[in-house]
Amino acid sequence: MATEITVPALGESVSEGTIGEWLKQPGDAVAVDEPIASLETDKVAVEVPSPVAGVLGEHRAAVGDTVEVGAVIATVEEGGAPAAKADAPKAEVPDAGVEKAAPAQAKEAVGSSASSAPEGGDGAQTLSPAVRRAVLEHGLDPSTIKGTGKDGRLTKEDVLAAASQKQDTAKTGSPAPAPAASPAPAAAAAPSASGERREERVKMTRMRQTIARRLKGAQEEAALLTTFNDCDMSAVIEAREKYKDLFAKKHDIKLGFMGFFAKAACLALKDVPAANAYIEGDEIVYHDYVDISVAVSAPNGLVVPVIRDAQAKGFAQIEKDIADFGKRAKDGTLTMEDMKGGTFTISNGGVFGSLMSTPIINPPQSAVLGLHRIEDRPVAVNGEVVIRPMMYLALSYDHRLIDGREAVTALKIIKEAIEDPTRMLIDL
């Protein structure tokens, strides 16, 4: 008997999604609650599980199709045996002339290798389009890369990390380890003899389309302005170094910088409530709580899960929330509820090496704090030039609601709290 698999509820006000990837193919055996497809919504990727055990029947939607909640996308034959699959043809080991392989042949070779690479020791490894493109671009063998995604699947970050390690090995002059499988992927990285230039046209994911639409809308709707300040990170670095071991032992989490900035932001938003408000029609909506959206990089784009009631949480809980968001963003398991709401955003471009930027607000919010990399710079202290670890801070805000004086004041409060963390303890 065939059981229909339908699109599950995707969250409040979300009525449809896009088939991003089929995780199971017709004839594959599936277990109860095993994901068979990945759906892309405006904010997150949602896995569709099988309600029964059996063998996957037909796909009733293709990758890229838009499907509504409740629509049937596949069937499962209960209790059936998985269809026998022919062994993948063994890739022929190329000779010394492999570097002259045509690009089309190289791409085909990578596709064969990727589809037959083992995952967890059994079964075929399924690569998402983004991962497959990264494998092709860097000439890597996916079977030699350890996946950190859900169920051991490869993520784009895994491929990029492997590519970086490969480059580092090449720079040191140490011989790179021989690939475990066919070296066909190396052909993909080799330039064609004719010097052919290629380009690829890829449809934007639903999430990327939403990000583009919202950010462009923010520029068109809001009167954006950014104010800057620099911050001496000496006190925070000293506090982290002094208490990191005790903090980790007691709370089972590392003490990071984001906890300090989240608490400093709470102080600033308490004194400058306009930075924690938003415009709705001809009214201003103020909040007596602080829900901080934290910008997190995910395989499909930037997501902003929310630390709720940050003003009432301690450093440990804030750090745990952030660590949990980061892990689940990488695994693709964040939910719509995780990103719902938010009254203020913190974006940390410093982890990628950014020195300075003008972040864009996350509508309907009216302000966003941008953090940047820490670097030693000469500064004047008490009439003397000293070297201090400095960070540029940026506060972008909607000038329709927040005056320049208020924005500068809010950023100054954050700066002072970071330079003297005791202020956060005595509410100054």
Catalytic residues: 399, 403
Q: Is the dihedral of CA 417, 418, 419, 421 positive or negative?
A: positive
DSSP structure string for 152-215? G---HHHHHHHHHHHHHHHHHTPPPPPPSS-SHHHHHHSPPTT--------PPPHHHHHHHHHH
Distance CA(138)–CA(194), nearest Å, equals 20
- Whole-angstrom CA distances from 8 to 4, 55, 281 are 12, 20, 33
- Left, alpha or beta for 385 (phi > 0: left; psi -120 to 50: alpha)? beta
Residues 6+ apart with CB under 8 A from 63: 19, 20, 21, 22
**Before 183, cis peptide (omega within 30)?**
no
Rounded (10°) angle between helices 257-271 and 315-331:
110
Burial of 284 (0-12, 13-18, 19+ CB in 10 A): middle
Do β-strands 384-398 and 375-381 pair in parallel, antiparallel, or remain unpaired? antiparallel
Q: Which residues of 122-140 are buried (b: 16+ CB within 10 A; e: fewer)?
A: eeebbbbebbbebbbebbb
* Cα 56–Cα 59–Cα 61 angle in degrees, nearest 5: 150
Beta strands per DSSP E along 234-343: 278-280, 283-285, 292-294, 296-298, 301-303, 306-307
Question: Which pair of tokens denotes residue 176?
Answer: 């790179």
Question: Which pair of tokens denotes residue 110?
Answer: 């990578």
By residue count, the chain amounts to 428
Question: Which pair of tokens denotes residue 201?
Answer: 């046209």
- Left, alpha or beta for 19 (phi > 0: left; psi -120 to 50: alpha)? beta
Distance CA(42)–CA(210), nearest Å, equals 6
Q: Are 23 and 126 in contact (CB under 8 A)?
A: yes
Distance CA(1)–CA(131), nearest Å, equals 36
Question: Which pair of tokens denotes residue 231?
Answer: 């911050």
Strand (E) or helix (H) holding 421: none
